[in-house]
Amino acid sequence: MDGPDSARALRRLPAVHALLRDPEVAALVPSYGRTAVTDAIREALDHARAEIKHGKPASVGSAAVQAQLRRRETPSLRRVINATGVVLHTNLGRAPLADAARRAMLDAAGYCSVEIDLATGDRGNRHDHTSTLFAELLGCEAALVFNNCAGAVFLMLAALCRGREVIVARGQLVEIGGGFRIPDVMAESGATLVEVGTTNKVYDRDYRARLSDQTAALLSVHRSNFALLGFTHEPTYRELAAVAAEAGVPLLVDIGSGLLASEADLGPAWPQLSDEPRPAEAIAAGADLVAFSTDKLLGGPQGGVLAGRADLIAACKRHPLARALRADKVTIAALEATLRLYRDGRAKEIPGIASMRRSSDALDGAAQRLAMAIAQAVPAAGVDVVDGVSVPGGGALPLAELPTRLVLVGPPGAPARALADRLRQGQTPVMTRFIDDRVAIDVRTLSDEEIAEIIPLLQSALHPIYPSQPRSPTSGEEPPR
């Protein structure tokens, strides 16, 4: 739109006070309040001005104001449907919680026994709710729960190694999500980094050669989010524990993702996950303290754990950072419920475990049902079922690939991008991916209920491409009459 036309269009936009006098807009005030309606008018006008300046026609009436009010009422942190096949999708909150964990969080949202001993009435300790369960599951003496694994590692180093040296293999000086690096974490903790070995090879003799009276600990860091292949070597936890024991210092292990599930729990996915280190195995091999995440492969809420020797746990608990980094009550409640599922042999109820263990027959059946339902709802859309690959995600198992079945929907190219945008921006957002430049729905990360829920959402999103199809009322519009 050229200058004069744009200026005329801008002048035609109504003023805020004029819109407030509009009967349809005024009728919104009793429900939303005058302040909210006024703010929505201003936002609608700002949006219209931006559209006009970009050469697009725009007007503001009661419908635009209502749209802004709906947008203001919609929380930015929302439930989404994960149709990407990435089981532990970092941007979507990683591990979805089991029903038992969700119920526990809801119960703990009110008053709860987070720091009281109900048997005696005395003050309790929030770590007791999970420490006994971790001891039973991992064979450790005690455990502490924090708000994430990076915090647990930081506290472990600050409490046990400040002012002294920590020996780490050069190939384990990793960077985790958000740009945080092990050398930086160690420097902030007050410990001094001592590198040993080369990028691809390190031996127990390398650690032994760098021991001194300034050595506070040996640290082993699992490379969770990348793999080092080929001409490589690393000592086992048992070999490192022997070196640490000779020097009279602890072996500290940052194990990353915290895989607790067994071969029976993971079923067909086990061959892809079997090489992932497990906290219980590290402790059994002689690790004195192990840090790992409670979300990711464990399948609980976001958090981090230190598990191992009681004396080291006690030293960490006494550190001032222990309070600053501790987990809140709802996280502890969800984690306790998740650990009880492992203890009771019910790990298959954890959604991440259930997604990874799905059989090829179950995946194909789900894909065929979804494809048939889409074809019936929007016959002209074009639907294909093809083989594909899912990944665990969550910064874990970078080489793991889980065979899956994908439902490809609609035409390729620009229409596919538009369809993905509409699905992502819908009433219930649906996250998809692209295969052969088409929208791909991976059924691995969809429950049966979500598969049924996707049908009307797809129908509504496909309508602009195939307008002859009936529109779905789930789009927030009136159904055809």
Q: What is the DSSP string of 144-202?
A: EEES-HHHHHHHHHHHHHTTSEEEEEGGG--B-GGG-BHHHHHHHHT-EEEEES-SSB-
The three-class DSSP label of residue 263 is helix
**Reported pTM:** 0.87
Q: Lowest-pLDDT range, 33-42, 168-177, 256-265, 319-328?
A: 168-177
Closest of 116, 140, 144 to residue 130, by C-alpha? 144
How far is 202 from 119, CA to CA, in rounded Å?
52
What pLDDT, on a 0 to 100 scale, did the predictor assign at position 325? Answer: 94
Q: Rounded mean pLDDT of 35-42?
A: 92
Asked whether the beta carbons of 261 and 357 are under 8 A apart, the reply is no
At 315, list the tokens: 């030293």
What pLDDT, on a 0 to 100 scale, did the predictor assign at position 111? Answer: 96
Give the CA dihedral 12, 14, 15, 18, nearest 10 degrees. Answer: 140
User: In this predicted model, what pLDDT tens digit does every residue of 101-150 receive, in sequence order?
Assistant: 999 999 999 999 999 999 999 999 999 999 999 999 999 999 999 999 98
In terms of phi and psi (left: phi > 0; alpha: psi -120 to 50; beta: otherwise), the region of 31 is alpha
Q: Rounded mean pLDDT of 277-294?
A: 96
Q: Rounded mean pLDDT of 18-31?
A: 92
What pLDDT, on a 0 to 100 scale, did the predictor assign at position 477? Answer: 39
Q: Rounded mean pLDDT of 10-35?
A: 91
In terms of phi and psi (left: phi > 0; alpha: psi -120 to 50; beta: otherwise), the region of 244 is alpha
What pLDDT, on a 0 to 100 scale, did the predictor assign at position 400? Answer: 86
Q: Is the pLDDT of residue 396 over 80?
A: no
What pLDDT, on a 0 to 100 scale, did the predictor assign at position 54? Answer: 84
Look at the alpha carbons of 262, 264, 268, 274 in this order and tell me if their dihedral is positive or negative. positive
Q: How confident is the model at residue 427 (pLDDT cuts 50, 70, 90)?
A: confident
Q: Rounded mean pLDDT of 38-45?
A: 92
What pLDDT, on a 0 to 100 scale, did the predictor assign at position 71? Answer: 85
At 424, list the tokens: 């992502």
How far is 130 from 301, CA to CA, in rounded Å?
13
What pLDDT, on a 0 to 100 scale, did the predictor assign at position 2? Answer: 55
Asked whether the beta carbons of 470 and 380 are under 8 A apart, the reply is no
What pLDDT, on a 0 to 100 scale, did the predictor assign at position 178? Answer: 62
Q: What are phi and psi of 344, to 5 degrees?
A: -90, 10
What pLDDT, on a 0 to 100 scale, did the predictor assign at position 467? Answer: 66
What pLDDT, on a 0 to 100 scale, did the predictor assign at position 469? Answer: 52
State the amino acid at position 206 in one-letter form.
D
Q: Rounded mean pLDDT of 32-56?
A: 90
At 94, list the tokens: 């990683």
Q: Which domains does the chain have, with CATH numbers?
A: 3-73 (no CATH), 81-89+355-475 (3.90.1150.180), 98-347 (3.40.640.10)
Q: What's the half-sphere exposure (Cβ side, CA atoms, 13 Å) at 257?
A: 27
How crowded is residue 316: how many other Cβ atoms within 10 Å of its Cβ? 24
How far is 175 from 251, CA to CA, in rounded Å?
21
Q: Rounded mean pLDDT of 232-239?
A: 94
Any idea what DSSP says for residue 349? G
How far is 155 from 254, CA to CA, in rounded Å?
12
User: In this predicted model, what pLDDT tens digit does every residue of 182-202 receive, in sequence order?
Assistant: 888 888 999 999 999 998 999
How far is 436 from 210, CA to CA, in rounded Å?
53
Q: Rounded mean pLDDT of 13-21?
A: 91
Q: How confident is the model at residue 481 (pLDDT cuts 50, 70, 90)?
A: very low
How crowded is residue 74: how many other Cβ atoms within 10 Å of its Cβ? 9
Token look-up 């760098």 returns 210
Paired with 431 in beta bridges are 82
Q: Rounded mean pLDDT of 420-437?
A: 92
Q: How confident is the model at residue 479 (pLDDT cuts 50, 70, 90)?
A: very low
Look over the chain and give the mean of its residue pLDDT values, rounded to a whole number.
90
